[in-house]
Each structure stands twice: as C-alpha cells, then as structure tokens.
Amino acid sequence: MTELGPVAWPPAPIRTERLVLREPEARDRAAVIELLASPEVGTYIGGPRPRDELERAMPAVPSGRPGLFVVALDGAMIGQITLTRESGHLRQAAGKAELGYLFLPQAWGYGYAAEACAAALDWFAGALPGEPVVLATRTANLRSMRLAAKLGFVEAERFEAYGAEQWFGMWSSAMPSD
C-alpha cells in the first residue's frame, strides 16, 4: 500500500526559495537512472541498481505515484522525496506516512534536501493536519541523521535490521521544529 489516503494527487507544484517539487517528467529520465544507479546514493539503502537494467526498464516518462515528489533546480531533477505509507518493510512504519529522500551526490551539501523536505512536510501538514510522519535511516548514514534532526524528527527507537543499526524518528506538525 502506498496511497496517502484522502489526499488529492498530484498537488500543484510546490515552490521553495530555490527549488520546485513536482511530478516526474520525460526530461528527468536520465537523472532518475543516475540516482538509482549511483553507488554513493545506494551506500546505506541496499546498494545501487544495475544501470543497464534501469535503462531497459525505465519508461520514457519516469512513473510517478502518490507521495513521490521530484525535486528540481532550474528545471533539472536533483533528487526525489517520498511521503508514502509502506506496509512491508518495517514493523515500526506499518500504516504510517514515511518520509524518504534521495538526492544526486553533486547536489549534496547545499541544503537542498532540507529545503525540499521541509516544504514537503509543510504540504503534508496542510493536507493531513496533525498526522505524524515517520522516518527510518541507518545510524551510520550521518548526512541522513543530520537531515532528520534538522527537520525536527525526534528519536523514537533504535533497532537492528538489515544487518545494521537503524534509527526510527517521528515528526508531527504539532511539534516545534527549528
């Protein structure tokens, strides 16, 4: 299950100071393949996918789904954010809206992920007021840990899964954040 619930999808593109959050477009195809095939991006999330397989399988317009935002800088995709309800992967996240983020390595270190995720959470808080969002990340993924803290996620639990320590955080629009 990946539906967000009673939320109209897609929303109008979301504009931040530097970025636009929007649906996937044909011009994103190469960047989506780059993102999923990148060893750096895949380090803490199960590794990269084979590029030739992605080239074969990826449609001309990368498919969207409710809760998936392409993050664009000057029109070009630099990353993706998901706000989805996953049922399968972790007991702690079952049935809850979960934030995910993947950015191209050349876009790391500029605060783009933080800017885009804050806007996505803001949109979520407006669409489903008071509903919490969860986030799971490996504790070894220091960039992700810093981002989660910056966004106002609060530690709920740490546990072992997929052979590594995982951090599980919760966010709610009712909680204060920086």
Ligand X SMILES: CC(C)(COP(=O)(O)OP(=O)(O)OC[C@H]1O[C@@H](n2cnc3c(N)ncnc32)[C@H](O)[C@@H]1OP(=O)(O)O)[C@@H](O)C(=O)NCCC(=O)NCCS
Rule CB under 6 A: say whether 33 interacts with ligand X: no
Question: Please, which of residues 147-166 interact with ligand X by CB under 6 A?
Answer: 147, 150
Q: Within a 13 Å sphere around the CA of 94, how many CA atoms are in the beta-carbon half?
A: 4
Least CB distance from residue 163 to ligand X, whole Å? 15
Work out the burial of residue 65: count CB atoms within 10 Å of its CB; fewer than 13 is exposed, 13-18 middle, 19 or more buried: middle
Distances (CA, A) of 46 to 102, 117, 161, 176: 13, 22, 12, 32
Least CB distance from residue 129 to ligand X, whole Å? 25
Binding window for ligand X (CB under 6 A); candidates: 3-11, 41-49, 69-77, 123-131? 41-49
Q: Which residues pair with 65 in a beta bridge?
A: none
Rule CB under 6 A: say whether 103 interacts with ligand X: yes
Sign of dihedral through CA atoms 175, 147, 49, 124?
A: positive
Find out whether 70 and 27 touch, Cβ atoms under 8 Å.
no
Please say which residue, 4 or 113, places its beta carbon nearer to ligand X: 113
Rule CB under 6 A: say whether 101 interacts with ligand X: yes
Least CB distance from residue 105 to ligand X, whole Å? 7
Token pair 């500029």: residue: 110
Question: Please, which of residues 109-138 interact with ligand X by CB under 6 A?
Answer: 109-114, 137
Among 108, 125, 156, 170, binds ligand X (CB under 6 A): 108
Rule CB under 6 A: say whether 84 interacts with ligand X: no
> What is the contact surface with ligand X in residues (CB under 6 A)?
41, 44-45, 100-103, 108-114, 137, 141, 143-144, 147, 150
